[in-house]
Amino acid sequence: MHIPTGVDVTIFRPENGRAAARSSLGLPTDRKLILFGGWGATTDSRKGFSHLKTALDALSASSPGVAATLVVFGNSPDAHIGDELPFPVISVGRVHEEAKLAKIYAAADVFVAPSSEDNLPNTVLEALACGTPVVAFAAGGIPDAVEHRENGFLASPQAGGELGAGIAWTLADEQRLDRLRIAARETALARFDLAACAWRYIELFSQIADLEAEGR
């Protein structure tokens, strides 16, 4: 029996409008927002910030006209991370309120998960639940949630250039981006709703109890 990690889809959900979410957070409304984050986002090597740098360099080279800003959460508030990146950076630091974090996801055009090793990251599930496509390496349990070119883009592990191509592909077509957003939310509702996952545990425990009662 495989029961995945769940997220509260009543908290992590799309906003009525990305522009409104951005305005309330003080984020740019006239640029593509590329989101990256997690606890120790820029200092924990497993989070893949070095791969993200390679990806953004590749994006800048392949799409020189793209107007994008990188938004980072989960890093130390005093971390300096924008000096070597080809795009402006907005650091929101550590976010402890789920409602605010959900709004950050919903404000973004794409969430990037460059982890070279991971299980099934909450950040990926939260982004999908907020209707934000995910570009990630096909590492660990991430392919259990991200379907290639359906609700995001999967790159070969540690291939930063390919990750950059995935970001470019995701942002290149607004109609396709809208379809990815819808598919992302549908994936979360169908497979990662926390309440539904809890009921699956209840059903499993009930089955085990019945078998025990029958002496099997």
Rounded distance between C-alpha atoms, residue 138 and residue 46, angstroms = 14
Our measurement of the distance from residue 105's CA atom to the centroid of its chain's CA atoms, rounded to an integer in Å, reads 8
140-175 pLDDT, tens digit each: 999 999 999 999 999 999 999 999 999 999 999 999
What structural domains and CATH numbers belong to the chain? 18-213 (3.40.50.2000)
CB 146 within 8 A of CB 123: no
1-50 pLDDT, tens digit each: 788 889 999 999 998 888 999 999 999 999 999 999 988 888 888 889 99
More confident residue, 203 or 131: 131
94-97 — which CB contacts under 8 Å span 24+ positions? 94/39
Q: Give φ, ψ of 5 to 5 degrees.
A: -60, 145
Q: Give φ, ψ of 190 to 5 degrees.
A: -80, -30
Query: Confidence band (pLDDT; 50, 70, 90) for 113?
Result: very high
